[in-house]
Amino acid sequence: PDRYAVIGHPVDHSRSPDIHRLFAEQCGQVMEYTRLPAPTDGFERVAGEFFGAGGAGLNVTLPFKLAAAEFADRLTERAERAGAVNTLKTTPNGLLGDNTDGAGLVADLVDNLGATVAGRHVLILGAGGAVRGVVPSLLAAGAARITIANRSIDKARAIATACAGMGEVIACGLDALPEDADLVINAISAGLTEGTMPALNPRILARAGAVYDMIYADAPTPFLRWAAEHGVAAGRDGFGMLVEQAAESFALWRGMRPSTKAVMDTLRGPAT
């Protein structure tokens, strides 16, 4: 069977093998999908060996998305814009790098949460690698303005500058947050490890119809709990984004797009 894997450091808790196994069953595809751990300085070697041994495609997770963009022979337009690659595919004319993270986020926001992106002001909290990948897709989905707010404002500015030609992108610090955003997306990782978010002004929710946390967990995330306490109950965590970006990768590899709903229900387990 064609062989696929998710490469990362660490990668042992990745849900991607389960997701792709269910996609393959649903679409009648015979394929193998495993976890491929690599040391932080060993992406090129491990990925090179995988493709050298006939591997068909890789998903790329932290911290290798930039290295994967360098490694690919060609990039899709959206990977080029994101400056990062989460999907690699062998093709007759070399290794193709794509980025399905942004499309995955937009699909989960619009199709599953029922949020509107087109014409709206989107506030993103955080400016890590995950944000770099999704801003171009939010602009492509018609966002009228994106504000990137980060503790280190320089990182928010760098993303805003890189995306300047694609739409209106503004940078600010966590102490000067806008209060007119229609949608607030969290990409600050602190909530996950420490169980706490940095103090945020609840006024950022004043006009927000929905919130989204790009981080996911078994229980409602600290950010989603905080938003609910301040009156915004419509929210989702990043598990849907994970499944949607996987569906986009699967479509690139196998030429057919699986239905995501059933897979989310199966893997999510009992409602949290």
Binding residue numbers for NADP(+): 77, 126-130, 214, 238
In whole angstroms, how close is the CB of 175 to ligand ATR at the nearest point?
Answer: 11
Q: By C-beta, is 24 or 38 nearer to ligand ATR? A: 38
Answer for the pair 182, 122: CB distance below 8 angstroms, yes or no: yes
Quickly list DSSP for 114-183.
----TT-EEEEE--SHHHHHHHHHHHHTT-SEEEEE-SSHHHHHHHHHHTGGGS-EEEE-TTS--S--SE
In whole angstroms, how close is the CB of 165 to ligand ATR at the nearest point?
Answer: 22
Alpha-carbon gap, residue 246 to 116, rounded angstroms: 22
In total, the chain counts a number of residues equal to: 272
Q: Is 83 in the site for ligand ATR (CB under 6 A)?
A: no
Considering only residues 207 through 226, tell me which ones interact with ligand ATR, judged by CB under 6 A.
Answer: none
Considering only residues 165 through 204, tell me which ones interact with ligand ATR, judged by CB under 6 A.
Answer: 187-190, 198
In whole angstroms, how close is the CB of 147 to ligand ATR at the nearest point?
Answer: 14
Phi, psi of 96 (to 5 degrees): -95, 130
Write the interaction track for ligand ATR spanning residues 142-161; mark x where CB under 6 A is met and - where it is not.
--------xxx--x------
Answer for the pair 22, 267: CB distance below 8 angstroms, yes or no: yes
Binding site as annotated, residues for shikimate:
14-16, 61, 86, 101, 216, 245
List 67, 84, 130, 185, residue binding ligand ATR (CB under 6 A): 130
Angle (CA) 254 141 161, round 5°? 105
Q: Is 128 in the site for ligand ATR (CB under 6 A)?
A: yes
Active site residues: 65
Could you give the 3-state DSSP secondary structure of residue 202?
helix
Indicate the angle between helix axes 16-27 and 239-254, nearest 10 degrees: 50
List 126, 178, 235, 258, residue binding ligand ATR (CB under 6 A): 126
Considering only residues 37 through 76, tell me which ones interact with ligand ATR, judged by CB under 6 A.
Answer: 62
Could you give the 3-state DSSP secondary structure of residue 193?
helix
In whole angstroms, how close is the CB of 241 to ligand ATR at the nearest point?
Answer: 12
Q: Is 127 in the site for ligand ATR (CB under 6 A)?
A: yes
Can you give the binding site for ligand ATR, defined by CB under 6 A?
62, 126-131, 150-152, 155, 187-190, 198
